[in-house]
């Protein structure tokens, strides 16, 4: 392995790590050499992923956490510090989607639910992990998971689109502020991955639009997102901060 791609000796926090993209991120970071705190809302699921991390040969620490609960995020970061050491890497991946529907139909409850997790939860994770990195004085790397919906509007997803646009703005703001602390902050914007197929099966017109647009004309794999995240967390990306990396099969290119 090229040494600049190694994460040997690093400690990572990954939220929303119990399945799909988050699970893949946790496993790829472990393969690159990091110990990983695996966070999610289901204890059995995070315990399973932590075991997979340990099977790779790294330490895996399962922690149940709702990122919309600031106190829970603070406790998660403290647990990382106590059990694995101060975080060198934080991946704010936890997120939910909304029910597809027109903007005029979005209820206040739906708006609050999506924004609480997809934007406020990202802020909680980035801010509290970032404080730990600042206090440790050793710098670090933070990656926030946005979406292609953070770059262009996806019709029928007003709440989700607004939150994901906010994630990219937050990424840029923190990158500008924390560069003096040697903390890099970047975003990754996945396109449609295999986890998205099931809820769209009842909307064939949406599926046709998705597959008809992306030049690579296929669904992404969670591992492909994990590999992009691992790159941004590594010394190979040492001169990259405030960036948003689409991993979308070219969906945003056309």
Between CA 128 and CA 207 the distance in angstroms is: 38
Which among 196, 171, 174 is positioned nearest to 251, based on CA atoms? 196
User: Are the C-beta atoms of 46 and 17 separated by less than 8 Å?
Assistant: yes
Domain locations along the chain? 3-253
**Mean pLDDT (the chain, rounded):** 93
What's the pLDDT tens digit per position in 63-83?
999 999 999 999 999 999 999
Rounded-to-integer distance, Cα 24 and Cα 225, Å? 8
Fold for the domain defined by 3-253: Rossmann fold (3.40.50)
Q: What is the pLDDT of residues 119-132, one digit of tens each?
A: 999 999 999 999 99
Size of the chain, expressed as the number of residues it contains: 254
Q: How confident is the model at residue 154 (pLDDT cuts 50, 70, 90)?
A: confident
Whole-angstrom distance, CA of residue 202 vs CA of residue 221: 21
Residue with tokens 């600031």: 70
Three-state DSSP class for residue 84: coil
Q: Specify the pLDDT at position 103.
A: 84
Q: Is the pLDDT reported for residue 208 higher than 80? A: no
At 222-232, the pLDDT tens digits run 999 999 999 99
Q: What is the band of 102 on the pLDDT scale with cuts at 50, 70, 90?
A: confident
Place of tokens 């591992």: 223
The DSSP output letter for 218 is S
Number of CB atoms found within 10 A of residue 44's CB: 9
For the sheet containing 11-14, what is the strand order? 60-64, 35-40, 11-14, 89-92, 140-145, 183-190, 244-247
Catalytic residue ranges: 160
Q: What is the pTM of this model?
A: 0.94
């Amino acid at each position: 392995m090229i040494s600049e791609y190694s994460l040997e000796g690093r400690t990572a926090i990954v939220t929303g790590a119990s399945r799909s993209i988050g699970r893949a991120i946790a496993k790829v970071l472990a393969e690159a050499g990091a110990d990983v705190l695996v966070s999610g809302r289901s204890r059995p699921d995070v315990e399973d992923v932590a075991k997979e991390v340990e099977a790779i040969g790294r330490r895996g620490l399962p922690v149940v956490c709702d990122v919309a609960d600031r106190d829970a995020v603070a406790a998660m970061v403290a647990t990382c510090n106590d059990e694995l050491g101060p975080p060198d890497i934080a991946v704010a991946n936890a997120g939910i989607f909304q029910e597809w529907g027109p903007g005029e139909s979005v209820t206040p409850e739906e708006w609050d639910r999506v924004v609480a997790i997809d934007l406020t939860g990202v802020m909680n994770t980035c801010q509290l992990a970032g404080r730990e990195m600042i206090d440790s004085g050793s710098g670090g790397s933070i990656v926030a998971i946005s979406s292609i919906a953070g770059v262009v509007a996806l019709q029928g997803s007003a709440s989700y689109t607004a939150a994901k646009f906010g994630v990219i703005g937050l990424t840029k703001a923190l990158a500008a502020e924390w560069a003096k602390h040697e903390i890099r902050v970047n975003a990754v914007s996945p396109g449609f991955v295999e986890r998205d197929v099931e809820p769209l099966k009842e909307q064939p017109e949406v599926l046709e639009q998705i597959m008809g647009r992306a030049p690579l004309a296929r669904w992404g794999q969670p591992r492909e997102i994990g590999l992009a995240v691992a790159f941004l967390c590594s010394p190979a990306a040492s001169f990259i901060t405030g960036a948003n990396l689409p991993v979308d099969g070219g969906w945003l290119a056309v």
